[in-house]
């Protein structure tokens, strides 16, 4: 996801896009992976889930003021609809996505 244009195109979708800003060295990021997998299995095509490594994409992390990982940001039609840092329980995340 190195190109800003590609990222912008991705978040312009009318399908909600959940971006998981994470890092390979981050233990909470590893803990959220199975939660995101379960969420994807539940919502299916209703949401796109994309993982972005902040170490490989520092300009995107800076642009969206990601100060800690994991940070989840939900986009729809190019706009930020919700964001949270840290691990979030599956049911709580499902509630956000289904709202």
Q: Which of 11, 17, 23, 29 is catalytic?
A: 29
CA gap 60, 42 in Å, rounded: 28
Helix (H, G, I), strand (E, B) or coil at 12: coil
DSSP H helices, the chain, are: 4-11, 27-43, 58-63, 90-98
Q: Which of 26, 43, 49, 94 is catalytic?
A: 26
User: How many domains would you assign to the chain?
Assistant: 1
CA gap 97, 99 in Å, rounded: 6
Residues 38-73: tens digit of each pLDDT: 999 999 999 999 999 999 999 999 999 999 999 999
69 is catalytic: no
Query: Does position 4 have pLDDT exceeding 90, yes or no?
Result: no
48 is catalytic: no
Boundaries of domain holding 88: 4-98
Work out the pLDDT band at 3, boundaries 50, 70, 90: low
Q: Tell me what the pLDDT averaged over the chain comes to.
A: 94
Q: What CATH number is attached to the domain comprising 29?
A: 3.40.30.10
pTM of the model: 0.93
């Amino acid at each position: 996801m190195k190109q800003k244009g590609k990222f912008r195109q991705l978040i312009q979708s009318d399908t909600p896009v959940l971006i998981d800003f994470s890092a390979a060295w981050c233990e909470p990021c590893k803990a959220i992976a199975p939660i995101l997998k379960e969420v994807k299995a539940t919502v299916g095509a209703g949401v796109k889930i994309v993982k972005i490594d902040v170490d490989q994409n520092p300009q995107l992390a800076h642009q969206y003021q990601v100060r800690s990982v994991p940070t989840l940001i939900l986009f729809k039609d190019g706009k930020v609809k919700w964001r949270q840092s840290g691990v979030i329980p599956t049911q709580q995340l499902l509630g956000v996505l289904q709202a």
